[in-house]
Amino acid sequence: MIKPTDSVCAWHRLGWVLGKQLFSVAEARQVAKRRLPRMMFDFIDGASGDESLRDLNSAMIDHIRLMPRVLIDISERAMSASILGQETGLPFGIAPMGMCALSWPGADFSLAREAAKRRIPLCVSTASSMALEQVIELAEGHAWFQLYADQSNGFVDELIDRAIAADYKVLILTVDVPIPSVRTRDKRNGFSFPMNWGASQIWDFASHPRWSLETALHAIRHQMPQPMNYATSSQKTTFVRNASRAGADWNFLATLRDRWPGKLVVKGVQSVEDAFRIKTIGADAIYVSNHGGRQLNAAPVAIDSLVEIRNAVGGTFPLIFDGGIRNGEHVIKALAAGADFVMLGRSVMYGLGAGGAAGLGQILDLIEAEASSVMGLLGCRNIAELGAANLAENYETLMLRTMLERAAE
């Protein structure tokens, strides 16, 4: 049986008691930037190339206008949703992210507890810093497993078997990381795994004593942060951060569809042609994402891809979305633009970096409250009522033009 761990030291708890509170994701990002070693913050915050796509993802969602409706009784609103046959407490979950414990020690424990509390899916990365079996137990079943076609076929087969044995109902195959991208901040900081220690890294950690002390204490009680699905593997596969994952080809997807007994989601899709083929192979949902700008910096903005793929695959095929979500308004806009469900990435990590478990809880509370308020101002009483009709005419016209242009090709 897993025992709860408290990775928050006394002075950290005291700080929150004395009134440190987060009022936005942007504020959480600034606090996390101060609290975390530069190397760790840049790993979370950074992207590929000149990092322009990361910011464009959010900016383009900001440009979407919504049409408020009036004289509707919205005094009672339900934020529950349904995705892949599962009922969730909220219309958003937590995207797969590797090595979350670099944001704050014990992060995976906090994420799993929040998933259980809020009945939302926590996507467990192949490179998670807690073993997949532990996460789904702590999350009380509210967990999906994310798979990379990693270095070793034996390791991949073992992960699939472990996910089945642990009773995961949803498997996410990530396909947009066939080769590593160039992330300038990580290169500048000498970020690697295992860690390469030099004078700059030592100074970075020494100048951020709160994070460093918490990490050291957690390591004494448990272990240093590491990719636990690798560490617990019978295959003895070593985690290599920049390893090729090019094994995820169309044949691999078809074979995985035959082998996996539950719901299968394909993540990292932006091409309409790819979406059609994935749907034909039998995936249960497509996860529209550009990896938060961490892969191809010149890729389309995520929300634009969502609109195009929704128009192409029709209104009933499940689409999951991430990319630039920084508040509850963004969640509602993505749902109105065609997503069935939304995932949070950096927003969650900023909360953890700013305040550990308490910061994570505050960010999730904020996004839920904002989403509920925006939904009510649109005249909607539940998530199922959201759709293209909630978009202001300028963006609805853009969607229609995109659909007509696609049909004419």
Per DSSP, 6 falls in state: -
Burial call 121-159: b when 16+ CB within 10 Å, e when fewer: bbbbbbbbbbbbbbbbbbbeebbbbbbbbbbbeebbebb
Per DSSP, 282 falls in state: T
Question: Residue 229 falls within a domain, yes or no?
Answer: yes
Average pLDDT over residues 310-334: 97
For 43-66, the pLDDT digits (tens) are 999 999 999 999 999 999 999 999
Question: Residue 399 falls within a domain, yes or no?
Answer: yes
> What's residue 11's pLDDT?
36
For 21-44, the pLDDT digits (tens) are 999 999 999 999 999 999 999 999
Average pLDDT over residues 177-192: 88
Report which of residues 313 and 196 the model is more confident about: 313
Residue 194: cis peptide before it, omega within 30 degrees of 0: yes
Question: Residue 20 falls within a domain, yes or no?
Answer: no
For 142-165, the pLDDT digits (tens) are 999 999 998 789 999 999 999 999
> What's residue 236's pLDDT?
82
Q: Does the pLDDT value for residue 198 go beyond 90?
A: no
> What's residue 279's pLDDT?
98
Q: Does the pLDDT value for residue 20 go beyond 80?
A: no
Count of domains forming the chain? 1
Q: Does the pLDDT value for residue 13 go beyond 60?
A: no
Residue tagged active-site, from 142, 208, 291, 330: 291
Nearest residue to 187 via CA among 39, 81, 385, 407: 39
Question: Residue 15 falls within a domain, yes or no?
Answer: no
Helix (H) or strand (E) holding 332: helix 328-336
Q: Does the pLDDT value for residue 394 go beyond 60?
A: no
> What's residue 403's pLDDT?
58
The 3-state DSSP composition of the chain as helix, strand, coil percent (nearest 5) reads 50, 10, 40
Judge whether 218 counts as a catalytic residue: no
Nearest residue to 67 via CA among 386, 383, 400: 386
Average pLDDT over residues 283-302: 97
Average pLDDT over residues 209-221: 84
- To the nearest 10 degrees (0 to 180), the angle between helices 38-45 and 25-35 is 150
Question: Residue 53 falls within a domain, yes or no?
Answer: yes
State the residue range of the domain holding 232: 26-408
Give CA separation, 101 vs 98, 105, 129, 307, in Å: 9, 5, 6, 34
Question: Residue 5 falls within a domain, yes or no?
Answer: no
Nearest residue to 321 via CA among 348, 298, 336, 340: 340
Q: Does the pLDDT value for residue 7 go beyond 50?
A: no
Per DSSP, 391 falls in state: B
| Cβ neighbours, 10 Å, residue 17 | 8
Question: Residue 21 falls within a domain, yes or no?
Answer: no
**To the nearest whole number, what is the mean pLDDT of the chain?**
90
> What's residue 175's pLDDT?
97
Report which of residues 151 and 269 the model is more confident about: 269
Question: Residue 228 falls within a domain, yes or no?
Answer: yes
Burial class of residue 209 (count of CB atoms within 10 Å of its CB; 0-12, 13-18, 19+): exposed
Report which of residues 200 and 132 the model is more confident about: 132
Confidence of residue 106 (pLDDT cuts 50, 70, 90): very high
Q: Does the pLDDT value for residue 12 go beyond 50?
A: no
Place of tokens 């030099």: 198
> What's residue 407's pLDDT?
61
What CATH number corresponds to the domain at position 295?
Answer: 3.20.20.70
Q: Which residues sit opposite 199 in a β-bridge?
A: none
Both structure tokens of 26:
């942007």
For 227-242, the pLDDT digits (tens) are 899 999 998 888 877 7
Report which of residues 185 and 150 the model is more confident about: 185
